[in-house]
Chains A and B, each alone.
Chain A
Amino acid sequence: MAHDKLTRTLGWTSVGLGAPLVLASGRTARVLGIEDGKRQRAVLASVGAREWLAAAGMLGQESPLWLWSRVAGDLMDLTLLGNDLAGRLPAATGAKARGKKSAGAGAGSAQGRTAAATAMVLAITAVDLYAAVSRGVRSLRNSEVSLTAAVTVTSPRQTVYERWRQLDGLPAFMAHLDDVTVTGPRTSHWRATAPFGAAVEWDAEITEDVPGERIAWRSLDPSENGTEDRIENRGRSGRSGRSGKTVRKIRNAGTVRFIPAPNGRDTEVHVTLSYALPAGKGGQAVARYFGEEPHQQLDDDLRRFKQLLETGEVVRSEGAPGGKRARGEFPQRPARPLTDKELAEVLS
């Protein structure tokens, strides 16, 4: 954000605007034709301080929030100016474009200067608004999730590697994956469920494959495989046929490394995953609110991988009978046997 030219310019503008307000509020008031009283000086100084705070934020942090704070400041100033124009504001005004209340000069010239100031603030507001909206959306779009997790399995590296390399077996333990079809020596087609039941599909290729040591993969860009990645809303019935709705590509990549554990017999499985959720950071926050915890889910995925390798099955309890179908560990059923109907539902 700090490398963003517009944000930087706006930041330094705030520094410049704040300086006379804070350092010489009396003189500024006089220059602007505002009555030079204690109260007016205090208001101008606090407006200057606000400018500096916004400047520090914009120059220092990569958050569109500071741009929005500028927009809010603009609206405040516009309100003050508007009131002043309507002749309702008593004495002081604080504004980025420095509104006025001339003490001795003609009322007409004061009115004109206030109108000019308002126009200036309006122009600045437009620039701030543009910056906030565009930067905000960009920052949401660019949100890429990166996850790491590790688990130790009591099997030799080659066995663990082979189990993972058999890509169509991944959905057995990975909560989000519905299906993986191997389409070539290095390519495969993946189907997954994103938060809120949205179906996601993509083609992937293995970019690195060192038997017994590591596997790396990434999704292919639409241009690379000729088809477009799709996200479709899974309707309750076939009627809501919005399938095939094309969205931005859902990029993802991953690496799994198999490392001998210190005891020389077991294998450490280290996974790194990165992906860009269609709804970006906002979407993630919403998903988290509804119980989707990506780190937790990857940890649970690896625990199930370990269970499958070590015991041959994914463990189920009466409280958590669904195995990987439970996207989170809570809420749970009570710890008592299920009826046949409940069991059928859980396993369907």
Chain B
Amino acid sequence: MKANCWVRPNKVRVENVPDPKILNGHDAIVKVTSTAICGSDLHLLDGYVPTMQRGDILGHEFMGEVVETGPDVGKDKLRVGDRVVIPFPIACGACAACRAEMFSLCENTNPNAGLAEKLFGHPTAGIFGYSHLTGGFAGGQAEYARAPFADVNALKIESDLADEQVLFLSDILPTGYMGAEMCDIKPEDVVAVWGAGPVGQLAMDSARMLGAKQVIGIDKQPYRLRMAESAGHTTINFTDTDVRSALLELTGGRGPDKCIEAAGMESEHGSPHIQAYDRVKQAVRSETERPHALRQAITSCRNGGTVSVIGVYGGFVDKFPAGSWMNRSITLRTGQAHVQRYMKPLLRRIEKGEIDPARIITHRLPLRQAAHGYDIFKHKKDGCEKVVLKP
């Protein structure tokens, strides 16, 4: 089959690889009908996530049709022919973390838990196509994919909703939603969202859906800010506006009640010399991330407010504003999305028309053009917001 593989930093290529096979009893093989490129795939592309290997198949947002099931997959749960969305974290459904619905912290699905433990202190769940730190699982930017514990993870789509309406249940919609949910939004809250990429857009929509009075999106790409505006959100362009003053002005001097950081480890700073400082430190690996958005979210948040971090971090940051965070009673909440917890309720909201995740799709490409998709997404070419690949 054809699959999009990581070759080296800044190089991905569609290659011919063997078809996936059942490795565990609870596996299913899925014929992929739609898959997407995620912002976090760009961190892999750029080479900032350790333990990538040449030939790793990328992709953790995918859906398709079940074509084979392992011997232990309950027929009442999943059958050949079912149309399914596969969540990006692989959960076993049986451990203490899964029992507590913290699926991205599953204790059983990362065969490289020892390695993850060395970096993070405690291991996290396996993730498709997302380095060997998260298990070395082949990803879904391919014609076929193996889904472990498919009977626990796969969300069956029984309605006639189009792929594009439900594909993002695999990652970015639950991720954006969890970012908003962690804010415990109250009706009078003003919520600021750093990053107007796919996750940021869906976090903005989710914040409004959860009742926020006003939602402010912060980015530098005019087309992304326009997209947020046309969805009804307020925007700030950090390249021509001082973010802090603008936020104070929009909130009567209080600062946003809740802040969602949806930018992550490769965020940019409006001031060139600060951007250069972190860029150099990152390049020489004296910090692994450049946390501008995180710093600004913390210092901008109102006293006693909440900062919810869904932008991806992998290692260590420098100049973390601990003083601002501690002295001002800021609550910091984080996590890789516990996707399985949100899939069904969000599917119902999509069915009811409460949220339209497909609004962010700007490009539909055949799988063989994956490298082009990565290029336009990374370099913000051609107004690229979200790429869906069709195998």
**A binding-site residues for B, Cβ under 8 Å:** 152, 154, 266, 296, 299-300, 303, 306-307, 310-321, 323, 326, 329-330, 332-340, 343
- With beta carbons under 8 angstroms apart, the residue of A152, A317, A339 that contacts B111 is A317
- Residue on A with the closest CB to B55? A334
* Residues from 155 to 200 in B contacting A, C-beta threshold 8 Å: none
Point out the residues of chain B lying under 8 angstroms from A340, CB to CB.
18, 21
Count chain B residues whose beta carbon lies closer than 8 angstroms to a beta carbon of A: 44
| Contact (Cβ within 8 A) B53 A335 | yes
In the assembled complex, B129 has its CB within 8 A of some CB on chain A:
yes
| Contact (Cβ within 8 A) A336 B95 | no
Instruction: Encode contact with A along B125-167: 1 for CB under 8 Å, 0 otherwise.
Output: 0100100100111110000001011000000000000000000
- With beta carbons under 8 angstroms apart, the residue of A299, A312, A315, A333 that contacts B114 is A299
**B binding-site residues for A, Cβ under 8 Å:** 3, 5, 17-21, 23-26, 53-57, 72, 92-96, 99, 107-115, 117, 126, 129, 132, 135-139, 146, 148-149
Q: Which of A296, A299, A307 has the most CB of B within 10 A?
A: A307
- With beta carbons under 8 angstroms apart, the residue of B17, B23, B92 that contacts A321 is B23
Q: Tell me how far the C-beta of A244 lies from the nearest C-beta in chain B, rounded to whole angstroms.
A: 36
A307-B108, A313-B24, A337-B19 given as contacts; is B92 within 8 A of A319 (CB)? Answer: no
- With beta carbons under 8 angstroms apart, the residue of B57, B117, B149 that contacts A335 is B57
| Contact (Cβ within 8 A) B112 A310 | no
| Contact (Cβ within 8 A) B55 A296 | no
| Contact (Cβ within 8 A) A333 B95 | no
| Contact (Cβ within 8 A) A311 B136 | no
- Residue on B with the closest CB to A296? B114
Dominant secondary structure of chain B at its interface with chain A: loop
- With beta carbons under 8 angstroms apart, the residue of B18, B93, B112, B148 that contacts A320 is B112
| Contact (Cβ within 8 A) A311 B149 | yes
Point out the residues of chain A lying under 8 angstroms from B56, CB to CB.
319, 334-336
- Residue on A with the closest CB to B97? A154
Bound Cα distance from A330 to B56, whole angstroms: 15
A317-B126, A319-B112 given as contacts; is B18 within 8 A of A338 (CB)? Answer: yes
A335-B56, A335-B129 given as contacts; is B136 within 8 A of A320 (CB)? Answer: yes
Bound Cα distance from A230 to B72, whole angstroms: 40
Point out the residues of chain A lying under 8 angstroms from B135, CB to CB.
315, 317, 319-320
Q: Tell me how far the C-beta of A323 lies from the nearest C-beta in chain B, rounded to whole angstroms.
A: 8
- Residue on B with the closest CB to A297? B114
- With beta carbons under 8 angstroms apart, the residue of B26, B92, B96, B115 that contacts A329 is B115
